[in-house]
Amino acid sequence: MCGILGIVSKQSVAKSLYHGLIQLQHRGQDASGIYLYDAKLQKEHLIKDTGYVHQVFDRNELENFSHNWGIGHVRYSTIGKGDKSEAQPFAASKIAVAHNGNIVNYIPLKRALTKKENFYTNSDAEVFQYYLNKRLEVNDDFASICTAIQEIYKNLHGAYSVVCIIKNKGIIAFRDPKGLRPLLYGRNGPFFHAFASESAPLNLYECETIYDLEPGEVMFIDQNFQVHKKILQQEKKTTCSFEFNYFAKPSSVIESKEIYRVRANLGIELGKQVLKKGLIPDVVISVPESGNPAAMALAHYLGLPIEAGLIKQNNANRTFILPTQKKRAEAAKKKWLSVNSVFKGKKVLLVDDSIVRGTVSKRAIELARLCGANEVYFASTYPPIKYPCFYGIDFNVKEQLISNNKTESEVARAIMADAVIFNDLSGLQKAIGTKDLCTACLDGNYPTQTDGKEELMSLREHDLALLETVYTG
């Protein structure tokens, strides 16, 4: 799961890309990159490195760029070693590309393509670059673009949203045929067009027109700012349900659904599960920050007080998307300050977005007990995660999932809770307002072919083992 941006304008886009990527930083913390193109002077510039947006780019330097087309990327590593060579965008020949998602059959596909082309990293973004460069080498009109993307749809199995620049021609954006990964389009007047993983950057740009690309849809903004679009291959929509529950920013709108309101709805559905279990807590406490909307809605629904018993440290970033278990555990220890008076002598209900490996939930419960809580219940707005994700969320090893082979009472014991409460699948669907969702991590029903998943899992385990060695050393 990453964040992507693309802009075509008459003005310099460097600063707009920078501020847009800041809006998407929550989607990836491993690396940041911007590719810039000056359509008038036919100049290009690529800046990318490991690190946060504010670490990689010099804001004063960006002031000097006149380039009026650009794409940007923030990376959350789900493949590779996470070094600079794998940072996006990638630029070669006439194409620069950035994408969000995972290609499940990437390894066998790359093995077959290596006979025709050289690949330099373990990033699946290079496969997109191959197909686009191959098909657009001679003709790069909209019909040829559609032909290239149809070939991608035919050969690549997985989840992806893509933005790319064709030098001296324009910008392309397209979404996989099932719409697993989000991608939105925005316009501010006739000479500013943008694409983004979420609506937040488009709101920042004051776009008056914002909408989601359809599954299997391609859009092309040419050098004359003319918009071309076509749905090439649309299948049953299965947007990732974890986007709504955790990944997206609360203020964002995806698939015409405000994320904050979805999470509040999840809190109400979770409140119903608390009542079913007959639990009567004294106080509700959110596990900040993605659990905040649900905790407030749950407390209101149950008529309970809500307190800020866990205070997120100012310098604490997202724990779940850190690459290794060692780093996640270390970050969890430093993530919050606890307020003793909120917990002492009370039965507390902690509310979070999910329980994946149990690292964060266990630490939150530990803090509650250290503060003197009598009983600690832990509630997850997301149902039990029992199956790996191959589509861009980094839990593709079944054995790492705490709910994989445990009952609810066994999960509770594992994280030291007196009880755990989960939303069920119907509650999740009701809260989001649709059944057109990917819930493969909950029920094992994968919406695409998953050939190549074993090799993908093996490569990820190998890379993570190397990373664990680096961080331990």
CATH number at residue 188: 3.60.20.10
The Cα-based distances of 275 to 295, 301, 380, 411, 423 in angstroms read: 15, 10, 14, 20, 12
CA dihedral 13, 19, 22, 23 (to 10 degrees): -100
Please check whether residue 341 lies inside any domain of the structure: yes
Kindly state whether residues 354 and 212 are assigned to the same domain.
no
Please check whether residue 349 lies inside any domain of the structure: yes
Residue 234 sits at φ, ψ, to 5 deg, of -105, 125
CATH number at 372 reads 3.40.50.2020
Q: Is 389 a catalytic residue?
A: no
pLDDT at 325: 53
Kindly state whether residues 197 and 343 are assigned to the same domain.
no
Please check whether residue 467 lies inside any domain of the structure: no
- Counted domains in the chain: 2
Specify the range with the lowest mean pLDDT, choosing from 137-141, 159-163, 263-267: 137-141
Q: Is 80 exceeded by the pLDDT of residue 323?
A: no
Question: CB neighbours of 473 closer than 8 A, spacing ≥ 6?
Answer: none
Please check whether residue 460 lies inside any domain of the structure: no
Residue 323 sits at φ, ψ, to 5 deg, of -75, -30
Q: Are strands 158-166 and 95-103 parallel, antiparallel or unpaired?
A: antiparallel
Please check whether residue 245 lies inside any domain of the structure: no
Query: For the whole model, what pTM was predicted?
Result: 0.92
Please check whether residue 459 lies inside any domain of the structure: no
pLDDT at 318: 47
Kindly state whether residues 228 and 352 are assigned to the same domain.
no
Q: Model confidence over 355-390: pLDDT tens digits?
A: 999 999 999 999 999 999 999 999 999 999 999 999
Element holding 211 (H helix, E strand): strand 209-212
Kindly state whether residues 191 and 270 are assigned to the same domain.
no
Kindly state whether residues 202 and 150 are assigned to the same domain.
yes
Kindly state whether residues 66 and 105 are assigned to the same domain.
yes
pLDDT at 254: 95
Kindly state whether residues 227 and 290 are assigned to the same domain.
no
Q: Is 50 exceeded by the pLDDT of residue 286?
A: yes
Q: Which domain holds residue 375?
A: 258-446
Catalytic residue among 2, 146, 164, 438: 2
The domain boundary, picked from 183, 205, 238, lies at 238
The domain boundary, picked from 204, 238, 272, lies at 238
pLDDT at 1: 77
pLDDT at 215: 98
Kindly state whether residues 311 and 212 are assigned to the same domain.
no
Please check whether residue 431 lies inside any domain of the structure: yes
- The average pLDDT across 455-471 equals 72
**What integer best gives the mean pLDDT of the chain?**
92
Kindly state whether residues 225 and 277 are assigned to the same domain.
no
Kindly state whether residues 440 and 398 are assigned to the same domain.
yes
Please check whether residue 110 lies inside any domain of the structure: yes
∠ CA 81-87-88, nearest 5°, is: 140
Kindly state whether residues 107 and 139 are assigned to the same domain.
yes
pLDDT at 458: 83
Kindly state whether residues 389 and 357 are assigned to the same domain.
yes
Q: Model confidence over 25-61: pLDDT tens digits?
A: 999 999 999 999 999 999 999 999 999 999 999 999 9
pLDDT at 394: 84
